[in-house]
Structure 1
Amino acid sequence: MVAAADAQNFAQKLGISHDMVVQELGWDDDTDDHLRADVEETIGADMVDEDSDEVIDVVLLWWRDGDGDLVDALMDAITPLADDGFVWVLTPKTGQPNHVEPSEIAESAPTAGLTQTSAVNLGTWTGSRLVQPKAAIKKR
């Protein structure tokens, strides 16, 4: 159990808590199974996929260089998002295969109507937290 306590809870780092609805997009063989398991253990359920019709609290978007247009992916990700929900764009760290430049996220977020608020280190992945600006939420 030392390793789990040692590695600080990924879900805590991501601001994920029990009973949140977490949607996972972009899963592939290279995603971090420890992070995924930690999130599911914390929320007390499985993460939902893109076919879910639930209102989503958090989107985990695994994103790699070559995955396509990040703006399009973000636009799709925010459609079911709760007003106070947020998106984590999870990208391979610098030096890892398929690394995404932080500037790509910084440039894509505003185009999709999101604001980047923070970044966290998640092992071989980096997470960039994106939120919907409060003013945009009021206009809905």
Structure 2
Amino acid sequence: MSPTAAGGSTPTDALAGPASRLGLTKGMVVQELGWDSDSDDELRVAIEDTIDSDMVDGDYGNVVDVVLLWWRDEDGDLVDGLVDSLTDLVGGGVIWLLTPKVGRANSVDPADITEAAPIAGLALTTTAAVSKDWAATRLVTPKTPG
């Protein structure tokens, strides 16, 4: 990380850090799927502080701006997980796929993500450093004409 111009970071950046790298802002509705005891609680708190609300779960029943999908190699078919995560996602919304970093238990091979995304109807756009143990991959639905 490099320092920014005089005055540096905004208060939101100072508080949120990784959550702001995910493009999250106050008022967004973030759905969290795949949470388990190994999920990064510091990241979860930073996200909720940034959006100024609790994240919602899979039973929310309304559209969400962002889906935060915790996924481990042992969780099954990634394509199915990605397709399921689209259920409540608003058009133009983002899925952040959080996977254990390479070398950690249950890490997901990046090639598996690259292969699964288009099958699920998603495009892989970027990755972000968000946690010591978790990698984040940004997935979006490709824009359709009209």
TM-score (norm 1): 0.90
Q: What is the distance in 1 between the residues matched to 2:109 and 2:16?
A: 25
1:133 partner SS: coil
Superposition deviation, residue 121 in structure 1? 1.6
Superposition deviation, residue 8 in structure 1? 6.4
Instruction: Name which of 3, 6, 17 aligns with 2:25.
Output: 17
Contact residue 79 and residue 116 of structure 2 kept, 8 A:
yes
CA separation of 1:47 and 1:72: change in aligned 2, threshold 3 A: same
Instruction: Name which of 63, 81, 88 aligns with 2:89.
Output: 81
Report 1:25-64 matches (<5 A): 25-64=33-72
What is the total number of aligned residue pairs between the two structures?
Answer: 133
Report 1:101-120 matches (<5 A): 101-120=109-128
Whether 1:128 and 2:137 are equivalent positions in the alignment is yes
Q: What is the distance in 1 between the residues matched to 2:84 and 2:16?
A: 30
Gaps of 5+ in 2: 1-12
Contact residue 30 and residue 64 of structure 2 kept, 8 A:
yes
Q: What is the distance in 2 between the residues matched to 1:89 and 1:71?
A: 12
Q: What is the distance in 2 between the residues matched to 1:94 and 1:67?
A: 16
TM-score (norm 2): 0.86
Which segments of structure 1 move beyond 6 Å, counting only runs of 4 or more?
Answer: none
| AA in 1 matched with 2:137 | S
Contact residue 73 and residue 108 of structure 2 kept, 8 A:
yes
Superposition deviation, residue 78 in structure 1? 0.8
Residue 100 of structure 1 is matched in structure 2 by 108
Gaps of 5+ in 1: none
Q: CA RMSD in A?
A: 1.6
Superposition deviation, residue 135 in structure 1? 1.3
